[in-house]
Amino acid sequence: MNVSLFITCLADVFYPGVGKDVVEVLEREGCKVDFPAQQTCCGQPAYNSGYHRESRDVAKSMIRAFEESKYVVAPSGSCAAMIREYPHLFDEDKEWKAKAQALAEKTYEFTQFLVDVLKVEDVGAKLPIKATYHTSCHMTRLLGVKDAPMKLLNNVEGLEFTSLPNKEICCGFGGTFSVKMVPISEQMVNEKITHIEETNSDVLIGADCGCLMNIGGRIDRQGKPIKVMHIAQVLNQK
């Protein structure tokens, strides 16, 4: 099966190893992975800030980049959800709306693709740790992906999992929200870390690099001995 990797900005700049893990897991499951070099940001920062006209220009660039792809897989539910929003950007342009719809229909978050398309729930991962999982807002509420990560984590050998209290509450990142509303964001991430500590976990697992960057950065600043891992990193442990 041919798959194109949409690396996303945060993974590309801050978590390049996550892209490597995604590729290696997909290849073990029989996928041939390519990387369209002309891909860019999905346009979500501009879109969420109200710059929809500028977002259309970015969307067109992304549509062109993945036009020949059969499937597009991203290590971010948030960015995949943004691509699913593309058709709404072109309600007055039938030609581009159709192209946007085609890209939206073939774009998946990493765990969603494994479980719903490849029909894989056990990738043979082994990781003897105590962990909990952060459910990111955009992935669960906009993209609707809730069960796929749990199905995969339940089959990781040696993983001792504890559900995160108040897991449905935002970590305070929210993209530009964390920049514009710093005091509120700080209190939100502090609350999230308190709940993580309640699980006595050594590792916080997540599927969105933005959330992991926000939570992990605050954990580091507080000097707490908790590690953060993207779920692709966990699933690539052998």
Taking only the tens place, the pLDDT of each residue in 117-143 is: 999 999 999 999 999 999 999 999 989
Q: What is the dihedral of CA 153, 216, 145, 121, to 10 degrees?
A: -20
Helices 52-65 & 94-105, crossing angle to 10 degrees?
60
Instruction: Say what the pTM is.
Output: 0.94
Tokens of residue 185, six digits: 């964001």
Asked if residue 76 lies in contact with residue 210, where contact means CB atoms within 8 angstroms, the answer is yes
pLDDT in tens, the chain (238 residues): 999 999 999 999 999 999 999 999 999 999 999 999 999 999 999 998 889 889 999 999 999 999 999 999 999 999 999 999 999 999 999 999 999 999 999 999 999 999 999 999 999 999 999 999 999 999 999 899 999 999 999 999 999 999 999 998 998 888 778 778 888 989 999 999 999 999 999 999 999 999 999 999 999 999 999 999 999 999 999 9
Asked if residue 71 lies in contact with residue 4, where contact means CB atoms within 8 angstroms, the answer is yes
Q: Which of 69, 1, 59 is nearest to 35 (CA)?
A: 69
Q: Which of 40, 71, 75 is nearest to 58 (CA)?
A: 40
Taking only the tens place, the pLDDT of each residue in 9-30 is: 999 999 999 999 999 999 999 9
Q: What is the distance between the alpha carbons of residues 170 and 162, in angstroms, rounded to a whole number?
A: 18
**Terminal Cα-to-Cα distance of the chain (whole angstroms):** 23
Pick the CATH number of 130-235 from 3.30.870, 3.30.200, 3.40.50, 2.60.40: 3.40.50
> Would you kindly state where each structural domain of the chain is located, as residue ranges?
2-117, 130-235
